Structure formats: C-alpha cells, structure tokens
Amino acid sequence: MRTPRAPPPRPALLLLLLLLGGSHGLFPEEPPPLSVAPRDYLNHYPVFVGSGPGHLTPAEGTDDLNIQRVLRVNRTLFIGDRDNLYRVELEPPTSMELRYQRKLTWRSNPSDINVCRMKGKQEGECRNFVKVLLLRDESTLFVCGSNAFNPVCANYSVSHRSSKP
C-alpha cells in the first residue's frame, strides 16, 4: 500500500522568491554623490583636523571626528561634532590645517546615557551628536544635540569676546 505524499509547497516557495526578488525595489540604492572632487584637487585646500591653537596634531587618544553639521557665518565656521561644538575662523590659513579657536564640550549626562543603554542602544550611539546649528540673530547660535536619544537645545553667544562658541 502506497502512502500519499504531500505536494511540495509551491505557493510558499513562489511567495518567498517573489519577496526576495522584490525587496530590492523596496530598498532603493543610495543615490550617488552630487559631485566628486579628485584627491589632487582637495590637496590644495586647508582641512579641519580637530585640534586647537598650539596643538600640532589632534590629542592622543581622542576619537575620530564625527562631524554632523556645519554652519558658516561670515568668516567663521561652526562645526557640530560628537560631544563637541567647534568655532573655526576662516581667516587666510597659514597652513593646510584649520584649527579651532574655541571648543565647547557638550556631553550627555550619565543618567541620559544609562537610559539610552537600557533601551538597547550601543555605547557609541548614546552620545550627544550636534544635529542643529542655526543663527538665531547676529549674536546668538541655536544648537540642538541628540543627547543620548533625549534631544536638548541651547542658545550660545557668538560674540568674539565670549568664552562660548
């Protein structure tokens, strides 16, 4: 006596193949850059290296830059980074490296970091990434940071005499 065999699951297999083939359309490829400059071209312009006045190289043991936002106001660049806000004057550079004139360190507080970690985020994600830089008026910079997934904003004076950015 022969036992009947179940037919192969063709509809399920067909559905799986359709889903796998169609997933490419659901997640389009990232668009190419708007413009690309050759490396030789870039070697003729100064670059921000993340160190300040009097430092020949970035400090030992510091993290790589993770620039999130840049705002140009006249001859000044405000650079929003991970845990830092830099002020860079764009006066004619004396070398091929731009250095900051002022630096504001703006870290997330330990309780925000702990909550972020409890939510399953990685340690590197639970930092304060500067996401918004806006000139509110001629003397005030409006800055917002991710603050370990608990966003916070602040106003800072941008006067040249101020100790803040």
Q: Which of 5-9, 22-26, 43-47, 61-65 has the lowest mean pLDDT?
A: 22-26
Residues 43 and 22: their CA atoms lie apart, in Å, by 43
DSSP state of 125: G
DSSP state of 18: H
> What is the pLDDT confidence band of residue 18, given thresholds at 50, 70 and 90?
low
Edge-to-edge strands, sheet with 152-157 = 130-137, 140-145, 152-157
- pTM, two decimals, is 0.68
How do beta strands 47-48 and 97-98 pair? parallel
| Both tokens assigned to 8 | 């192969």
Write down the pLDDT at residue 61: 46
Q: Is the pLDDT of residue 140 over 90?
A: yes
> What is the pLDDT confidence band of residue 161, given thresholds at 50, 70 and 90?
very low
Question: Tell me: the pLDDT tens digits for 70-86?
Answer: 999 999 999 999 999 99
| Both tokens assigned to 99 | 């250095």
Cα separations in angstroms, 65 against 3, 49, 79: 68, 8, 10
Tell me what percent of the chain is helix, strand and coil, each rounded to the nearest 5.
Answer: 20, 30, 50
Q: Is the pLDDT of residue 113 over 80?
A: yes
Write down the pLDDT at residue 162: 45
User: Could you give the 3-state DSSP secondary structure of residue 134?
Assistant: strand
